[in-house]
């Protein structure tokens, strides 16, 4: 499609608008189906690497075809928004606390969505149809960002932006507007080179080959998956309670970006740590309200308890009477899943049941 001066002017204006709305990088891509990514989704699903995840794996044909989300789709305006922050004090884990991945210290998707909504409104002003898709099962965000020239696929499967690293959330506006797209020759080249640091940095070996993640082992997924937490990965969970950043923290381009351009300080309302004892003390209703922003399997509080018990088993202080109390209480919980993970935690902490008679 020939690029008209109007399309170029509109693209320039969208870039300006996006920058003003706090979007760190913007690129344009054609809305043709992502055939290669569809192949990746289908072959990985066939090999079981999706570990039962639905998301984009539920209907790969749909999630790789933007026209399914917006009939007549021609272009994607793809944006990245940084969520990197310097941890607030204390920088080290407080006693009996679990660790939250940086993308969840606050709602990072809302400001990304708001920025993209401004671009959508500008497109609609010219009579085009437009739809915002952020972390939605209808679009493969990393593949869109890659096609729009925002970055390269790291061996940890994250999309890295040249000079800026991978601490970004990604989203798009899909539109029927004809916009200039980034030609393949202008996309950033692979920036990993010979580095392979992320592969051994994964505590469960979930990066089974460069660029290939086995969700059955990925802690970020296991914390979101229903059922029992696989026993073989419980110790590896350490203190993680939501998400996992290990393969990004090990990544040299992320470290270099932080040195060059130190991130802003976290706000007092950011939540890098969660008090696991306080969590286990909440009622089911209060638990689900308190962690409303998190993806909790089937919105069942039992899974928050399960995760907290495994994390507490790993990082809890067995001499703390409150730790003993919540673990003991969970050992007699009516839910068998909670009981089983409490037994594991008690064993790992070397606790005997307070209420059981002395041998
Ligand atoms: C399902 C999902 C997950 C799953 C599976 C992740 C995965 N790697 O597949 C789980 C729950 C584990 C997960 C975890 C995380 N996720 Co997630 N997740 C998604 C979701 C919903 C779909 C991703 C998807 O379709 N994966 C399918 C596979 C096929 O894609 P892929 O892994 O990206 O694979 C590409 C590479 O493998 C590459 N490739 C293929 N062959 C080869 C070979 C080589 C050598 C190389 C280098 C690459 C390569 O091509 C593939 C694409 O075609 C998206 C949102 C969305 N709608 O897109 C967010 C998304 C990918 N997640 C995101 C984030 C932030 C995370 C976490 C960092 C959160 C956390 N701290 O816990 C972790 C990172 C874990 C990791 N190493 O990927 C961001 C990614 C931001 C970025 N800069 O890349 C997204 C885009 C959400 C968003 N809108 O911002 N996530
Ligand atoms: S998010 Fe954690 S568990 Fe998942 S691949 Fe990265 S390091 Fe491994
Ligand atoms: S750690 Fe190295 S190999 Fe892994 S994504 Fe970062 S640069 Fe690429």
Ligand 1 atom closest to Cα of residue 141:
58
CA–CA gap between residue 357 and residue 359 (Å, rounded): 6
Secondary structure of residue 345 in the 3-state scheme: helix
Q: Is the Cβ–Cβ distance between 145 and 27 less than 8 Å?
A: yes
Q: Is the Cβ–Cβ distance between 165 and 251 less than 8 Å?
A: yes
User: Helix H segments across the chain?
Assistant: 5-20, 35-46, 60-63, 109-125, 141-147, 198-201, 219-222, 246-249, 252-260, 276-281, 284-290, 301-315, 321-331, 336-349
**pTM of the predicted model as reported, rounded to 2 decimal places:** 0.97
Beta strands 97-100 and 240-242 are: parallel
User: Would you tell me how many other CB atoms lie within 10 Å of the CB of residue 143?
Assistant: 23
For 91, the token pair is: 């920088």
Whole-angstrom distance between the N-terminal and C-terminal Cα of the chain?
A: 81
Tell me, yes or no, if 135 is annotated catalytic. yes
Which pLDDT score, from 0 to 100, does residue 354 have? 56
Beta strands 25-30 and 273-275 are: unpaired
User: Would you tell me how many other CB atoms lie within 10 Å of the CB of residue 70?
Assistant: 19
Tell me how far the alpha carbon of residue 354 is from its chain's centroid: 39
- Give the Å distances, CA to CA, from 144 to 86, 124, 159, 192, 218: 28, 21, 10, 20, 23
For 318, the token pair is: 């067995």
Residue-wise pLDDT tens for the chain (359 aa)?
Answer: 678 999 999 999 999 999 999 999 999 999 999 999 999 999 999 999 999 999 999 999 999 999 999 999 999 999 999 999 988 777 788 999 999 999 999 999 999 999 999 999 999 999 999 999 999 999 999 999 999 999 999 999 999 999 999 999 999 999 999 999 999 999 999 999 999 999 999 999 999 999 999 999 999 999 999 999 999 999 999 999 999 999 999 999 999 999 999 999 999 999 999 999 999 999 999 999 999 999 999 999 999 999 999 999 999 999 999 999 999 999 999 999 999 999 999 999 999 765 443 34
* Minimal-distance CA residue to ligand 3 atom 2: 195
SS3 of the chain: helix, strand, coil, percent, to 5: 40, 15, 45
The position carrying tokens 């990746």 is 40
Q: Is the CB of 219 under 6 A from ligand 2?
A: yes
Q: Is the CB of 154 under 6 A from ligand 3?
A: yes
Q: Is the Cβ–Cβ distance between 78 and 28 less than 8 Å?
A: yes
Separation of CA 96 and ligand 2 centre (Å): 22
Which pLDDT score, from 0 to 100, does residue 357 have? 36
Q: Is the CB of 221 under 6 A from ligand 1?
A: yes
CA–CA gap between residue 255 and residue 165 (Å, rounded): 8
* Minimal-distance CA residue to ligand 3 atom 5: 154
Which pLDDT score, from 0 to 100, does residue 3 have? 85
The position carrying tokens 């072959």 is 43
For 171, the token pair is: 């989203």
Which pLDDT score, from 0 to 100, does residue 58 have? 97
> How buried is 202 (Cβ within 10 angstroms: 0-12 exposed, 13-18 middle, 19+ buried)?
buried
């Amino acid at each position: 499609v020939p690029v008209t001066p109007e399309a170029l002017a509109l693209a320039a204006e969208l870039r300006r608008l996006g920058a003003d709305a706090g979007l760190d990088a913007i690129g344009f891509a054609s809305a043709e189906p992502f055939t290669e990514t569809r192949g990746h989704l289908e072959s990985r699903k066939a090999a079981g690497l999706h570990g039962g995840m639905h998301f984009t794996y539920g209907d790969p044909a749909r999630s790789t075809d933007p026209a399914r989300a917006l009939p007549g789709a021609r272009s994607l305006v793809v944006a990245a928004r940084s969520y990197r922050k310097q941890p607030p004090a204390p920088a080290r884990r407080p006693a009996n606390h679990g660790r939250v991945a940086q993308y969840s210290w606050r709602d990072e998707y809302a400001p990304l969505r708001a920025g993209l909504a401004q671009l959508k409104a500008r497109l609609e002003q010219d009579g085009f149809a437009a739809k915002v898709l952020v972390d939605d099962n209808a679009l493969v965000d990393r593949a869109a960002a890659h096609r729009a020239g925002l970055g390269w696929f790291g061996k940890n499967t994250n999309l890295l932006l040249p000079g800026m690293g991978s601490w970004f959330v990604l989203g798009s506006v899909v539109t029927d507007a004809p916009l200039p797209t980034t030609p393949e020759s202008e996309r950033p080249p692979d920036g990993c080179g010979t580095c392979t640091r992320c592969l051994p940095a994964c505590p469960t070996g979930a990066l089974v080959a460069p660029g290939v993640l086995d969700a059955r082992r990925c802690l970020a997924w296991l914390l979101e998956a229903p059922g029992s937490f696989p026993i073989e990965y419980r110790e590896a969970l350490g203190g993680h309670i939501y998400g996992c950043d290990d393969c990004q923290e090990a990544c040299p381009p992320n470290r270099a970006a932080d040195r060059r351009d130190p991130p802003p300080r976290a706000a007092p309302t950011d939540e890098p740590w969660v008090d696991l004892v306080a969590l286990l003390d909440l009622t089911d209703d209060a638990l689900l309200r308190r962690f409303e922003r998190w993806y909790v399997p089937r919105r069942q509080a039992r899974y928050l308890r399960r995760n907290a018990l495994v994390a507490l088993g790993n990082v809890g202080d067995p001499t703390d009477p409150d730790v003993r109390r919540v673990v003991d209480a969970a050992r007699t919980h009516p839910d068998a899943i909670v009981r089983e993970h409490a037994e594991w935690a008690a064993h790992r902490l070397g606790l005997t049941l307070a209420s059981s008679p002395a041998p």
